[in-house]
Structure 1
């Protein structure tokens, strides 16, 4: 039987505020809707919101807005926290039962007979407990898997983000990832810029943000664009294709 080609939409770094006010002069709600409602996101099998759903400090209004918007969304969606989120607030608005362990949100999601893994890097690193869990759980899966985590587990060539906001224990994470034979594609956000980085035999796909794009060539914060970006992943038998879109 032919394996279904799964279509996964990834939206990251949404930075929704408490209310409808602009965030840093940007209509972040309109930006999110442009991504969500774009032609490229039609006929998804899964939607992933990969962190920084809230703007600065886990504003409840941000989570409520997104939860209400996605209440009748036609396909399942998965969320993980970013460094501007707090899982104890997210739990009030999203069904995270069985996905939160000692304050960290990490889990395995099954879809069409395949496994997708999600890690929590909200505090700036991936905890040792998560790495042990990932190693043990991925070993139980024979087929190819995908992994989502907010922070890229490597430097990306973004002068501002690499310098100030990189994943703190990336070397520990890289060691574990390298030992997972059925993992070749890792999906992240956080950098407000698009990158594709080779990490040994693995590829790290860094999705642009819907909030704004940060200039990767400056060692200080410099707004490159207030246009939203997002990523669409097609996952079939023996292939993974990605395409990035900007509005």
Structure 2
């Protein structure tokens, strides 16, 4: 593993609409650009967009906008779909590795290995779990995993009840096999969490669209301020910080 500290910016749940109109009264494009241009994101080596790029149902205008923004960047950009995205539409705008209709891949960068899996349908397919079992053991050093849905409950009363990862038990059985996987990065919950499970840390990034009140059992807008996460990955540490 390289001794360099790898700085990764994670932006999730962007919910860009078809055009420049407000989404639920929120300027989601301005929110995304605020995150992308934040001083906290200066000097990132890699950008991860961890799902729900589009607002409701894979609006082509959303992907066209996102494609044009990331095309301006001089660093790698890794993308996975969320439950409001559709891979078959995203492929028209991004170069995504897709197998059996799912977007999942390993990305090696600056001596580090990261794994990206697709939970857009609300589950992680068996094909992906089998692939993780084959691929992660090939790496001796620490690896990171990115997925849209957290593989655990997060004490978010609204999201845990209605929109949790349906096969989280099966997913965790597989993830628990990997001693070199200690940090998992997600989104989806429109709120930030850091959850310890099975000796691993699940880092849940907030949304750039809006934050949902985790203490209410129904949808309750907590804030329309954008949030994002910055990860620093060193030779013997992984740290994440949430910014608003």
Asked if these proteins are the same fold (TM beyond 0.5), I'd say yes
Cα 1:189/1:2, change in 2 over 3 Å: closer
Q: Secondary structure at the match of 1:75?
A: coil
1:26 aligns with 2:48: no
In 1: Cα distance, 2:128 partner to 2:228 partner: 27
Cα 1:69/1:168, change in 2 over 3 Å: same
1:231 aligns with 2:223: no
Residue by residue over 1:43-62, the C-alpha shift from the partner in whole angstroms, topping out at 9 and shown as x without a partner, is 11100000000000000000
- Aligned residue number for residue 119 of structure 2: 121
1:130 aligns with 2:128: yes
Q: CA RMSD in A?
A: 0.8
Q: Please report how far the alpha carbon of residue 113 of structure 1 lies from its aligned counterpart in structure 2 after TM superposition.
A: 1.3
Cα 1:172/1:2, change in 2 over 3 Å: closer
- Aligned residue number for residue 81 of structure 1: 81
1:90 aligns with 2:73: no
In 2: Cα distance, 1:74 partner to 1:124 partner: 32
Q: Please report how far the alpha carbon of residue 69 of structure 1 lies from its aligned counterpart in structure 2 after TM superposition.
A: 1.1
- Aligned residue number for residue 209 of structure 1: 207
Say if 2:2 and 2:112, in contact at 8 Å, map to a contact too.
Answer: no
In 2: Cα distance, 1:196 partner to 1:70 partner: 28
In 2: Cα distance, 1:160 partner to 1:63 partner: 28
- Aligned residue number for residue 155 of structure 1: 153
TM-score by length of 1: 0.98
Residue by residue over 1:32-90, the C-alpha shift from the partner in whole angstroms, topping out at 9 and shown as x without a partner, is 00000000001111000000000000000000001011112021100000000000000
In 2: Cα distance, 1:95 partner to 1:229 partner: 26
- Aligned residue number for residue 52 of structure 1: 52
Q: Secondary structure at the match of 2:225?
A: coil
In 1: Cα distance, 2:118 partner to 2:165 partner: 11
Q: Secondary structure at the match of 1:139?
A: helix
Give 5+ residue unaligned stretches, structure 2.
none
1:67 aligns with 2:76: no
Q: Secondary structure at the match of 1:231?
A: strand
Q: Please report how far the alpha carbon of residue 192 of structure 1 lies from its aligned counterpart in structure 2 after TM superposition.
A: 0.1
- Aligned residue number for residue 141 of structure 1: 139
The alignment covers a number of residue pairs equal to 244
Say if 2:2 and 2:111, in contact at 8 Å, map to a contact too.
Answer: no
In 2: Cα distance, 1:94 partner to 1:171 partner: 31
Q: Please report how far the alpha carbon of residue 2 of structure 1 lies from its aligned counterpart in structure 2 after TM superposition.
A: 6.2
Superposed structure 1 runs of 4+ greater than 3 Å apart:
none
1:14 aligns with 2:14: yes
TM-score by length of 2: 0.99
- Aligned residue number for residue 177 of structure 2: 179
In 2: Cα distance, 1:59 partner to 1:157 partner: 31
In 2: Cα distance, 1:56 partner to 1:48 partner: 20
Q: Please report how far the alpha carbon of residue 135 of structure 1 lies from its aligned counterpart in structure 2 after TM superposition.
A: 1.1
